[in-house]
Each structure stands twice: as C-alpha cells, then as structure tokens.
C-alpha cells in the first residue's frame, strides 16, 4: 500500500511539474500575475509529493519490504539500519528519486526565498526548473520506477554492494547530488535572463547564493568520495583520474569559474555573456556526469545497471537541455548589453584569467574522459587514458592559476599598478623562499619539482594571508583597530580568504603525498617486524571476528618509532555473507605530518601473511584543506549582503509585486 | 583601454591558452593512450616493446602461481583461442580469481613476456569487462547470455 502511495506521489509530482513548467511561462509573457503565482505553489506541491515518494521508498527499505523489486535487489534484512536507509540511494532507481527530490527542493526554495525577485524573472526561473523536473520525473516513471512490485517476492534480498556499506560513502551521493542539482538553479536563472534579455548586478546577486550552495556541497561530496577511496579501496591513493571521478570534477571546475565571474557581473556589470555561458556549461556538465555514470557507458562501482533504453532516454534529455539552452544562448546573448570596461591588469582582468585557466583545465579533463568513448564510437579501437595524461595536461594549466591567485586577490578593480601589488607581496615572496628551503632541508633533497610545488603552495597561503592582513591593517594600525576591522569584514571576504587558504593547504598535501609516499609489501609471520621509513610495524598475528553481516580476519600491528609506542593498527579483510564478496578495510593512524596505513592480504600457506604498509606524508592536509574550503563556502553564504532585501525589508519586497499586479 | 583593445587582449590570451593546451593534450595523448588487446591481438598484431597497453580476457584455470612467497604473481590470460602469460608484482585485487574476467595494464618486454603493473578485477563479482566480452565474442568463445553484460 505504501509503495502504491509512492507511485501515486511521483505521478502527482510530475503533474505539478508540468503545470509549473507551463503556466508561469505564459503568465510572464502576458504579465498575468495569477498565472505567474502558480509557479510558486506548484513548486511547493511538487516538493511535497517528491518528499512523500522518497519517504515511501525509505519506509520500504526500513521494514525490508521484499515485495518491491528495488528493495529485494539491493537490500537484506541483516543489514545495519544506517545502510538500510542509505541503501535507498545506493542503486539506480533510488538515486534518481533522490535527484528528483533535490531538484524539487531547490525549486521550492527559490519559490520560498525569492520573494524579492521581479515577478516575471521568478516565474521564468521556476518554469525552467520545472522543465528539468519534467524530464527527470518522466525518466524515473517510465524507465526506472523504484516502486515496481514483484509477483513472487523472495524471502530475503540481494544486499547492497559491500563497498557501499560505509559511513563515508553513505553521505557522498546526497552531497554530490545537492552540488550537481544545485547548479540547476544557476542554469534556470541564466535561461530566464536570456528570455528576459536582461542581466545586471541584481541578477548576479540573486544567483550567487545558489551557486555558492551548490559549489559548497559539490566540494564536500567530491572530498568524501576521495576520502572513501583512500581508506576503503586499500590502495592508499586518494585520486585516480578515473572517469567517474572526472565527471564530478568537471562541474566543480566550471562551477568555481562561475562563482568568480559572477562577482565581476555583480561588482562591475561586466563579463555578463560569459557568465551566462558558464552557468549553462556548468549544469550541462552535471547532466553529462549523471548521463555517463548512469548509462553504463563507464563500468564502475557507480554504474548500477546497464540498460540501453535508459541510456538513450538520458541522451535524449541531454540533447534537449544542452542543445536547447545553447541555441537560446546563441540567439539571445548578442542582445545583452556589454558592461564596464577594464584594463588587463585589474581585479576583473585577474578573475577573467582565472576563468580562462579553469575552463582550459576543465577542457583537458573533458578530453581525457571522453576521448576514449569518442574513439570507440567511431570504431578507433578501445583505449584508456591513465593518470600521466592528466599530470601532463591538467597540472601545467593549474600551476599558473595557483601562482596568480594571491596576486589577483591584491588587485583593485578597473586598473591596477602591478609593481605596487608585487611590492606589497614581497614579504610573502621572501617567506615563500624560506619555506621552500625548509621543505628542502626536511625532505633531505628530494624531487626538485615537489619542493617547488610546496613553495607554490606556501606562496598561495602566505599571499592570501598578506592580503587579509592588508585588509585589517595588521601592524600598520593599533591592534584594536585591526581587531575591529577583522570583525567587520564581510562574510564573503572571510570566505575568499579561507577558501584560498584551504586550497593552499590541500595543494601542499597533494604534492607531499604524491612525491614522498612510501609503499612496502612484505610477507610477515606473527612476531616479525617490518621497518618502513624509520617506523617499526610489529605484526602480532591475526584473529577471526564476526560483524553484523560479515565475517572477517583482523590483523594487529603495533607501530613504534625508536622503540616508542605510537599506535595499534587493526586492518581487516572482510567477507560479506550475502554477496560473498571480500573487501579490504585498511587501518590508518593519522597524524599532522602523515598517515601510517596498514592493509592485511592473503596467507602464504606457511604461517605468513602478505601485508602492505604505506607511509602517506601530509595526507590529512588534503582533507583539512578541502574541509576549510567547504567551511569557507558556508561562511560566505552567511554574508548578510546576500540576503539584503530578501525577507528583511517587507515594504520594499511588496512593492514590485504590487506594481506587477497593477500592470496586469 | 577601449572596448576594442580589451576584446583583442582577451582574444590573444584565450588563443595563447588554447594553443598551449592543445600542444599539451596532443603530446600527452600520444604518450598515454593505451589500447586494449585480447590475447589473440597480442599474438597476431604488431606490438611495440615497452609501450603501455591493456590486456584483457579470462584468467586461465590452473595457471595462477605465486612466486617469492606471494609477492609476485604469474598467470595466463586467455580468450579461449590464445593465451598469454602475465607477470605481476604487487597485491592482487580482492576479486581476482581463476576463470574470471580481468584487465591488466602493462607492456611487453624484450623476451616477449607481458609485465603488468596494474591488475583490475572489478568491484562486482559478476561483472565482466565490456572489452573482454567483446573480445570473447570476436574469438567465437562467448558463452554468456546473448545480450551482453551481466547486470547485478
């Protein structure tokens, strides 16, 4: 009965989306405020039914209702409750339902928080948002129905892929989806602006919080995925340039560019056409990401099921969304009035360069990810492109960007004196050289490129700090004045400083782990000790343990340095009962300077065990730096200027609506 | 600075970037494309020694041996027509078994042995790499369901 209610709810959500996609658009054309107001109501109704449907599916998972095909295929009664719930989106149908739910929630949020938007713009944004909804709801109902019943239900289910039964991965898909789908709002705003033929500073200000929300969650989602790969796959790596990683990284790169170019539109009323294009491209890349992963074109843990019918349906959706929006862009963009002019050496010029470099970097990732698919489609054979490709293309493009971040942040708007700015950065430059020398001393030589890379990261960090110090006049004014200025800095400025600082820390971590990672494979008998990079790992032996839905072999290592006890590591090798699938659970001891990482392998038959020990320097810096970027996004979102005029000033908010009503 | 000169400036910067990126991409593609080969391909086609390529097929039953106490693995990959011996030093993925579909990445050495530096056995036990399915079909040795890949 509950499942039928869910089925009913997704159909109702589709109907609400159809109403929302049409009536407000007609209303905006005719300036009919009653038709336009349908948009907001329909958005709330659509969200209600999408939530209801999602709730129904969740309930089926919680009570293990195996009369549902979806539950029977992807759940098991012995699974821990957390994974029963997260299993809702651990499969194709459920994850599409989550996609649709998040889309509807964003639509409803625009309806609820967008009270101060001009009525026509709001109506058009909601209509575009609903069009995406119609596409995905149709897809859900006709090709991926999560509520299909089984005539003869099994006694128990097939269980969820054990690799997905993990706390890190449980919340990776929802965060990633909030990111992907959040860019739909920027997309809807861009399309609505093209229809209206007007982009101005106010438009940029409305788009910014949505873009920022999407970017923040996407960053979090990607980092969670990377962290999961690091500790769950047991290879000690955190990024593999795997196509499924790349498709989430591309919208991130474009979204980052969008975030920066929207600032130019907001402050200087310039780069408008470019910003609209970026908004379209960012969401298009999110759609392509969904398409590539879901269509089974790439096989991985993410490709739940291969089904050509679905692939063609998504391809069709993609063609309409991307083709349609780009056509509209080509038709309407030339009509947008160009804004203020600026010199190449200026804040605008810096942000433009940032955009060009980010898009170029994104293009190299795009090529590397899609070239094999393209080559195969034209019958050029099956190829794969490995990490060296990205090291030789993506990395060289990103280096100038990382070097210029702190220079750009120092530049004033319109035109700037480059020598003056470099003069203000001389202390940062000096400190960078010292930091690089210290790194060189600690690493005892080491690869020169990595030392230079660490120098680059510290330049980015110190340049960012010096910009912040300039803003609060630290050491140039009394401390109390500086303190006051720091408190009064707007959230978006804090956000910028924290995000750039986080980036610097993460980059330092990435470079250090890549350059100085140590991997040691050996066969150990209980009682034997393996020494890796000055650290002793004494193997104590193994024992068998039993988990809720798996059995495991647990090894014990005592880690010590110079005879001093540091930690006990207990890596496991699990065998899940239902799918009979083995997984590796690495044991990790994290410290500020690096991780001690142990994995237990197979017995060699004579009492010894294969073990792998990794020494991962500064790897925690990656998670900390990226975490700081997520935090920066939240701080920036809290900036009250983003909300100015929103619900705050009721009088002003009401005026435009009255005007619109009067004109109809 | 006028609108026109700004446009020229943007154009010059973009074109420079585009040219640099194209150069990098073409260079990197040339060096880092690794083509998929079935054992039959490897025996019949011309293959450059030392060039990275992918070899995929089924792990032949009864050929997996562990050398130096389990750190080095030797096994044969077959498409049921030809088979190639592979040497791999490192830890096998959890899902590596005889009789299963597998893809290895590596290169041929001077002695004609295939030295793998990576072995990919996929996350899902029933999963057969699409390349392997196709190669088996090509050699007329496909024994699975008619329509392609196994689903979960």
Report yes or no: B11 at the A interface, CB cutoff 8 Å.
no
Cα A59 from Cα A80, distance rounded (Å)? 15
As a whole number, mean pLDDT of residues B47-73 equals 83
Residue A132 lies in a domain: yes
A652/chain B closest Cα distance in angstroms = 36
Instruction: Please check whether residues B61 and B121 belong to one and the same domain.
Output: yes
Same domain, A332 and A379: yes
Q: Is the pLDDT of residue A65 over 80?
A: yes
> Whole-number mean pLDDT of chain A?
88
Given this model, what pLDDT does residue A298 score?
A: 61
Residue A366 lies in a domain: yes
Q: Of chain B residues 71-90, which have a CB less than 8 A from chain A?
A: 71, 90
Chain B CB contacts of A610 under 8 Å are 70-71, 91
Chain A residues with CB-CB distance to B134 below 8 A = 382
Residues 98-137 of B with CB under 8 A from A: 105, 122-125, 127, 129-131, 134
B122: left (phi over 0), alpha (psi -120 to 50) or beta: beta
Residue of A228, A383, A398, A573 best to disrupt the B interface, most CBs of B under 10 A: A383
Q: Count how many domains chain A has.
A: 3
Separation of alpha carbons A587 and A596, rounded Å:
8
Q: How far A164 CA lies from chain B's nearest CA (Å)? A: 10
Q: Measure CB to CB from residue A396 to each of B24, B131, B134 and give the nearest one.
A: B24
Give the C-alpha distances (Å, rounded to integers) separating A360 from A164, A613, B9.
34, 38, 17
A610-652: pLDDT as tens digits: 888 999 999 999 999 999 999 999 999 988 666 544 443 344 4
Full residue range of the structural domain in which residue A151 is found: 1-165
CA distance B71 to chain A (A): 7
What local confidence, expressed as pLDDT, does residue B147 receive? 37
User: What pLDDT digit, counting tens, does each position of A245-261 carry?
Assistant: 899 999 999 999 999 99
Q: Which residues contact A335 (CB under 8 A, 6 or more apart)?
A: A197
Largest Cα separation within chain A, whole Å, is 89
How does residue B132 score in pLDDT terms, banded at 50, 70 and 90? low
When mean pLDDT is compared across A336-350, A550-564, A588-602, the lowest value belongs to A336-350
Model pTM score: 0.90
Helical residues (DSSP H) of A63-171, grouped into ranges: 69-74, 81-86, 92-113, 119-143, 167-170
Identify which of B94, B105, B129 has the shortest CB distance to residue A299.
B129
| Cβ contacts of B54 on chain A, cutoff 8 Å | 382, 384
B26 and B54 together in one domain: no
Nearest to B91 among A305, A352, A601 (CB): A601
pLDDT score, position A641: 67
B108 in a domain, yes or no?
Answer: yes
Percent of chain A at pLDDT above 90? 53
* Whole-number pLDDT of residue A521: 85
Separation of alpha carbons A436 and A453, rounded Å: 9
Annotated binding site of B: 123, 127
The verdict on residue A174 lying in a domain is: yes
**Rounded CA gap, A310 and A295, in Å?**
6
At residue B150, the pLDDT reads: 35
Contact B17 A604 (CB under 8 A): no
DSSP string, A297-338: SS-STT-----HHHHHHHHHHHIIIIIHHHHHHHHHGGGSPP
Residues B110 and B83 in one domain: yes
**Is the pLDDT at A305 greater than 50, yes or no?**
no
State how far the Cα of A429 lies from the Cα of A564, in Å rounded to an integer: 39
Q: Are A244 and A226 in contact (CB under 8 A)?
A: no
The mean pLDDT of A214-224, rounded to a whole number, is 96
Last residue of a domain, one of A365, A398, A424: A424
Clarify whether residues A97 and A216 are in a common domain.
no
Are A74 and A156 in a shared domain? yes
Of the listed ranges A37-51, A288-302, A339-353, A630-644, the least confidently predicted one is A288-302
Residue range B60-88: mean pLDDT, rounded: 86
Q: What is the pLDDT of residue A530?
A: 92
Could you tell me if B13 lies within 8 Å of chain A, comparing CB atoms? yes
- pLDDT mean over A148-153: 88
Distance from CA of B100 to the nearest CA of A (A): 14
User: Cα A664 vs. chain centroid, distance in angstroms?
Assistant: 42
Do both B23 and B79 map to the same domain? no
A53-84 burial, b if ≥16 CB within 10 A, otherwise e? bbebbbebbeebbbebbbbbbbbbeebeeebb
Average model confidence (pLDDT) across chain B: 78
Residues A150 and A174 in one domain: no
| Average pLDDT of span A461-469 | 92
CB of B91 within 8 Å of a chain A CB? The answer is yes
Compute the average pLDDT of residues B65-80: 83
- Shared domain for B58 and B115, answered yes or no, is yes
Same domain, yes or no: A140 and A203: no
Q: For residue A296, is it left (φ>0), alpha (ψ between -120 and 50) or beta?
A: left
Among the residue ranges A276-290, A364-378, A489-503, the one predicted with the least confidence is: A364-378
pLDDT of res. A457? 94
Give the range with max mean pLDDT: A297-306, A319-328, A467-476, B5-14.
Answer: A319-328
Cβ contact, residue pair B105, A386, below 8 Å? yes
Q: Residue A304 — very low, low, confident or very high, per pLDDT cuts 50/70/90?
A: very low
> What's the CATH code of the domain at B59?
2.40.50.140
Residue B151 has pLDDT above 70, yes or no: no
pLDDT-based confidence at residue A382 (cuts at 50, 70, 90): confident
- C-beta atoms of B36 and A381 within 8 A: yes
Predicted confidence band at A592 (pLDDT cuts at 50, 70, 90)?
A: very high
At A227 the pLDDT is 92
Apex CA A442: angle with CA A437 and CA A446, to 5°? 80
Q: What is the mean pLDDT of residues B104-115?
A: 86
Considering the domain architecture, whether residues A123 and A28 belong to the same structural domain is answered as yes
Task: Provide mean pLDDT across the span A133-156.
Answer: 90
Instruction: Give mean pLDDT, residues A366-393.
Output: 84
- Same domain membership, residue B9 and residue B67: no
Q: Identify from A232, A384, A528 which residue to disrupt to test chain B contact, counting B C-beta atoms within 10 A and taking the largest count.
A: A384
Let me know if residue A502 belongs to a domain. Answer: no
Crossing angle (nearest 10°) for helices A172-196 and A92-113: 50
Poorest-confidence range of A159-168, A523-532, B21-30, B70-79?
Answer: A159-168
pLDDT at A161 over 80: no
Between A643 and B127, name the one with better pLDDT: A643
Q: What is the pLDDT, as a whole number, of residue A646?
A: 43
Q: Is residue A603 part of a domain?
A: yes
Question: Does a structural domain hold residue B145?
Answer: no
Determine the distance in angstroms separating the CA of A612 from the nearest CA of chain B, rounded to an integer: 8
When pLDDT is cut at 50, 70 and 90, the band that residue A417 belongs to is: confident
- Asked if B70 has any chain A CB less than 8 Å from its own CB, the reply is yes
Range of the domain at B68: 36-138
Are A393 and A379 within one domain?
yes
Torsion, Cα A257 A401 A370 A162, to 10 degrees, reads -80
Given a cut of 90, is residue A320 above it in pLDDT?
yes
Give the model's confidence band at A559: pLDDT under 50 very low, under 70 low, under 90 confident, else very high.
very high
Which residue of A lies nearest to B129 if distances are taken between CA atoms? A299
State percent of chain B over pLDDT 90.
Answer: 8
The confidence score (pLDDT) of residue B140 equals 65
ipTM exceeding cut-off 0.90 for this assembly: no
- For residue A383, the chain B residues in CB contact (below 8 A) are 33-36
The answer to whether position A525 is within a domain reads yes
CB-CB under 8 Å, A163 with B29: no
User: Could you say which of A375, A394, A424 is where a domain stops?
Assistant: A424
Residues in binding site of B for heme: 123, 127
Query: In Å, how far is B111's CA from the nearest CA of chain A?
Result: 25
B67 with B122, same domain: the answer is yes
Query: What pLDDT does residue A187 have?
Result: 97
């Amino acid at each position: 009965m509950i499942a039928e209610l869910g089925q009913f709810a997704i159909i109702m959500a589709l109907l609400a989306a159809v109403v929302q996609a049409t009536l407000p658009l007609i209303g905006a054309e005719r300036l009919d405020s009653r038709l336009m107001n349908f948009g907001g109501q329909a958005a709330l109704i659509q969200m209600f039914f999408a939530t209801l449907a999602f709730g129904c599916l969740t309930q089926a998972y919680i009570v293990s209702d195996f009369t549902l095909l979806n539950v029977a295929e992807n759940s098991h009664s012995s699974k821990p409750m957390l994974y029963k719930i997260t299993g809702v989106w651990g499969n194709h149908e459920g994850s599409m339902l989550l996609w649709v739910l998040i889309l509807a929630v964003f639509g409803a949020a625009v309806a609820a928080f967008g009270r101060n938007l001009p009525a026509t713009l709001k109506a058009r944004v909601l209509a575009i948002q609903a069009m995406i909804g119609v596409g995905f709801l149709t897809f859900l109902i006709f090709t991926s129905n999560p509520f299909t019943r089984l005539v003869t239900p099994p006694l128990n289910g097939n269980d969820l892929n054990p690799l997905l039964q993990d706390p890190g991965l449980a919340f990776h898909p929802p965060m990633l989806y909030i990111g992907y789908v959040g860019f739909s709002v920027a997309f809807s705003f861009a399309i609505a602006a093209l229809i209206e033929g007007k982009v101005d500073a106010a438009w940029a200000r409305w788009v910014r919080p949505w873009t920022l929300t999407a970017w923040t969650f996407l960053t979090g989602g990607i980092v969670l995925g990377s962290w999961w790969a690091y500790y769950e796959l047991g290879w000690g790596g955190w990024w593999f340039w795997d196509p499924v990683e790349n498709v989430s990284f591309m919208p991130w790169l474009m979204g980052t560019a969008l975030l920066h170019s929207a600032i130019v539109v907001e402050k200087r009323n310039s780069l408008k056409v470019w910003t609209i294009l970026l908004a379209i491209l960012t969401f298009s890349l999110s759609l392509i990401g969904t398409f590539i992963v879901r269509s089974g074109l790439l096989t991985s843990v993410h490709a739940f099921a291969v089904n050509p019918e679905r692939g063609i349906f998504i391809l069709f959706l993609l063609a309409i969304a991307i083709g349609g929006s780009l056509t509209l862009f080509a038709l309407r963009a030339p009509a947008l009035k160009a804004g203020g002019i600026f010199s190449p050496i200026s804040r605008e010029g810096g942000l433009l360069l940032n955009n060009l470099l980010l898009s170029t970097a994104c293009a190299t990732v795009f090529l590397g990810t899609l070239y094999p698919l393209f080559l195969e489609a034209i019958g050029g054979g099956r190829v794969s492109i490995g990490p060296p490709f990205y090291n030789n293309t993506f990395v060289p493009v990103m280096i100038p960007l990382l070097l210029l971040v702190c220079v750009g942040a120092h530049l004033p708007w319109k035109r700037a004196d480059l020598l003056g700015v470099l003069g203000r950065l001389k202390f940062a430059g000096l400190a960078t050289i010292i930091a690089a020398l210290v790194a060189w001393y600690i690493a005892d030589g080491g690869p020169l490129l990595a030392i230079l890379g660490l120098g680059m990261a510290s330049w980015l960090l110190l340049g960012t700090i010096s910009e912040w110090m300039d803003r609060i006049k630290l050491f140039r004014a009394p401390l109390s004045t500086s303190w006051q200025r720091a408190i009064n800095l707007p959230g978006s400025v804090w956000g910028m400083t924290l995000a750039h600082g986080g980036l610097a820390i993460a980059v330092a971590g990435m470079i250090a782990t890549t350059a100085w990672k140590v991997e040691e494979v050996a066969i150990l008998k209980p009682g034997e000790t393996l020494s890796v990079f000055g650290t002793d790992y004494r193997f104590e032996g193994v024992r068998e343990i039993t988990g809720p839905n798996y059995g495991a072999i647990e090894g014990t290592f005592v880690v010590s340095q110079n005879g001093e006890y540091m930690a006990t590591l207990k890596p496991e090798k699990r065998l899940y009962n239902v799918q009979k699938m083995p997984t590796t659970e690495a044991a990790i001891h994290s410290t500020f300077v690096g991780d001690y990482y142990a994995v237990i392998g197979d017995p060699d038959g004579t009492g010894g065990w294969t073990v792998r020990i990794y020494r991962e320097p500064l790897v925690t810096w990656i998670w900390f730096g990226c975490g700081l970027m997520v935090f920066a996004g939240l701080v920036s979102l809290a900036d009250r200027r983003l909300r100015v005029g929103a619900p705050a000033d009721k009088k002003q908010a009401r005026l435009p609506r009255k005007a619109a009503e009067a004109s109809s | 600075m006028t609108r026109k000169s700004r446009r020229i400036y943007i154009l010059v910067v973009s074109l420079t970037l585009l040219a640099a990126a194209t150069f990098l991409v073409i260079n990197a593609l040339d060096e880092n494309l690794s083509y998929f080969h079935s054992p039959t391909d490897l025996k019949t086609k011309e293959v450059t020694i030392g060039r990275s390529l992918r070899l995929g097929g089924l792990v032949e039953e009864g050929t997996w041996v562990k050398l130096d106490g389990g750190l080095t693995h030797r096994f044969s990959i077959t498409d049921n027509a030809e088979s190639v011996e592979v040497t791999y030093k490192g830890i096998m993925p959890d899902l590596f078994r005889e009789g299963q579909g597998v893809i290895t990445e590596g290169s041929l050495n001077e002695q004609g042995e295939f030295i793998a530096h990576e072995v990919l056995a996929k996350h899902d036990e029933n999963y057969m790499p699409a390349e392997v399915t196709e190669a088996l079909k090509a050699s007329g040795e496909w024994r699975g369901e008619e329509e392609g890949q196994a689903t979960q």
